[in-house]
A and B are shown apart, each in its own frame.
Chain A
């Protein structure tokens, strides 16, 4: 699988000149070695990428690893980023590829379903009220029942509010594939969550 970091995403239809001014202003100095500029970009996007990674792998520890690998890969490839897509979407593409690699490694060890059920509760969740805790677990289990490709589109379209074309660019697939996967994912989620209404 080609590295997302070495891939130049095509221009976004809805984004136009898609870089926010502040990201655009920071990218050039960051690529030229200014640690403050890179640090600012990191602080701006790290939390979001961590949450994105968590919703893909559904594991707090792995989300931290994926977020770290994403920024390491982005740091190495900053010079090749041409700003044709938003910096955030570029990071999504890298994080998606890192998550795919991670889950592939995990599946080598054991089946994904078993791994998800066996995982311990991530740190920081024990203090949640029971109702919120239950709802979190219910959604986590439902997302865990989806294939990764379906979680990817749910993550990008439902959680990150990308349109289908933008999600297709992040995932490196056709827009119709995104639509098809989203349809399948929603159908399955409705089945899984519907009985609890």
Chain B
């Protein structure tokens, strides 16, 4: 079946017409939303004047409680750094829009893998964090789904593309290996953990 045939077959799907009531309701609510959004801007300036100290105090109290309750876990390194990772990626994306293939954090130093030319701007919800560990060595790679990553290792270069699936799994596809969240396995002697940054 050619693409043309497939397209023809798919054209048999006929979405039902929306009910006029639903359309009227949607227009009414959207119009209200537009109006209230403009009002919100001015009201919000007043509101935040007193809300900010209250919210800050509440957040600080919650943070203290959480820190007191949460026991340190050795495997928690990926989630614990997620906010920092997202911030780092966002800042670098501003400097190199659409060019970030990967950010590699190695022994506390940060390395950049940049594409020669910018392509589609990376979306934050497509960000992936990959952790490679072997003996006492640990590498942390921040990248985006669909990017081509070239990682310099002692034994050579490891090329791969991380891919996010619809159900939030990560697939790492290399020239001669495929690693996935559901079927993890060591690659070139390195243990791999990977997760979408947005899920942390």
Which residues in A have some Cβ–Cβ distance to B below 8 Å?
1-2, 7, 10, 30, 33, 35, 38-39, 42-43, 46-47, 50-51, 54-55, 60, 63-64, 67-68, 71-79, 122-125, 128, 132, 135-136, 138-140, 143, 147-150, 154, 158-159, 165, 168-169, 171-177, 180, 186, 189-190, 193-194, 197
Bound complex: CA of A123 vs CA of B16, how far in Å? 7
Contact call B30/A150, Cβ cutoff below 8 A: no
Bound complex: CA of A180 vs CA of B173, how far in Å? 12
Bound complex: CA of A43 vs CA of B121, how far in Å? 31
Enumerate chain B residues within 8 angstroms of A132, measured Cβ to Cβ: 12, 14
Pick the 4 closest A-B CB pairs, nearest first. A174-B146, A172-B123, A149-B166, A177-B146
Q: Give the residues from 1 to 46 in chain B that come closer than 8 angstroms, CB to CB, to chain A.
A: 1, 3, 6-7, 9-10, 12-19, 22-23, 25-27, 29-31, 33-35, 37-38
- Name 16 A/B residue pairs within 8 A (Cβ), A-sorted: A2-B124, A7-B123, A33-B34, A54-B15, A75-B33, A78-B34, A124-B17, A135-B12, A147-B165, A148-B166, A158-B7, A169-B120, A173-B126, A176-B161, A177-B163, A180-B146
Contact call A174/B34, Cβ cutoff below 8 A: no
Enumerate chain B residues within 8 angstroms of A197, measured Cβ to Cβ: 1
Considering only CB atoms, which chain B residue lies closest to A8 in the complex? Answer: B121
A75/B120 contact (C-beta < 8 A), A136-B12, A173-B145 known: no
Whether B185 is near chain A, meaning CB under 8 Å from some CB there, is no
Contact call B1/A194, Cβ cutoff below 8 A: yes
Considering only CB atoms, which chain A residue lies closest to B9 in the complex? Answer: A193
A76/B37 contact (C-beta < 8 A), A149-B166, A172-B123, A190-B6 known: yes
Whether B147 is near chain A, meaning CB under 8 Å from some CB there, is yes
Enumerate chain B residues within 8 angstroms of A128, measured Cβ to Cβ: 14
Which residues in B have some Cβ–Cβ distance to A below 8 Å?
1, 3, 6-7, 9-10, 12-19, 22-23, 25-27, 29-31, 33-35, 37-38, 98, 119-126, 144-147, 161, 163-167, 198
Considering only CB atoms, which chain B residue lies closest to A179 in the complex? Answer: B146
Query: Could you say which of A38, A173, A180, A193 contacts B30, with CB atoms under 8 Å apart?
Result: A38
Contact call B13/A139, Cβ cutoff below 8 A: yes
Enumerate chain A residues within 8 angstroms of B17, measured Cβ to Cβ: 47, 124
Considering only CB atoms, which chain A residue lies closest to B146 in the complex? Answer: A174
Bound complex: CA of A149 vs CA of B6, how far in Å? 18
Considering only CB atoms, which chain B residue lies closest to A128 in the complex? Answer: B14
Considering only CB atoms, which chain A residue lies closest to B17 in the complex? Answer: A124
Contact call B34/A180, Cβ cutoff below 8 A: no
Considering only CB atoms, which chain A residue lies closest to B40 in the complex? Answer: A76
Bound complex: CA of A190 vs CA of B3, how far in Å? 9
Considering only CB atoms, which chain B residue lies closest to A139 in the complex? Answer: B13
Considering only CB atoms, which chain B residue lies closest to A181 in the complex? Answer: B166
Bound complex: CA of A7 vs CA of B122, how far in Å? 11
Query: Could you say which of B6, B120, B144 contacts A193, with CB atoms under 8 Å apart?
Result: B6
A64/B18 contact (C-beta < 8 A), A10-B120, A35-B31, A174-B145 known: yes
18 further A-B pairs in the complex, CB-CB below 8 A; given A149-B165, A174-B147, A175-B146: A1-B125, A1-B198, A33-B34, A47-B17, A50-B18, A51-B15, A72-B29, A72-B33, A124-B16, A139-B9, A147-B167, A158-B6, A172-B126, A173-B120, A174-B120, A174-B126, A177-B126, A193-B1
A64/B22 contact (C-beta < 8 A), A51-B15, A136-B12, A148-B166 known: yes
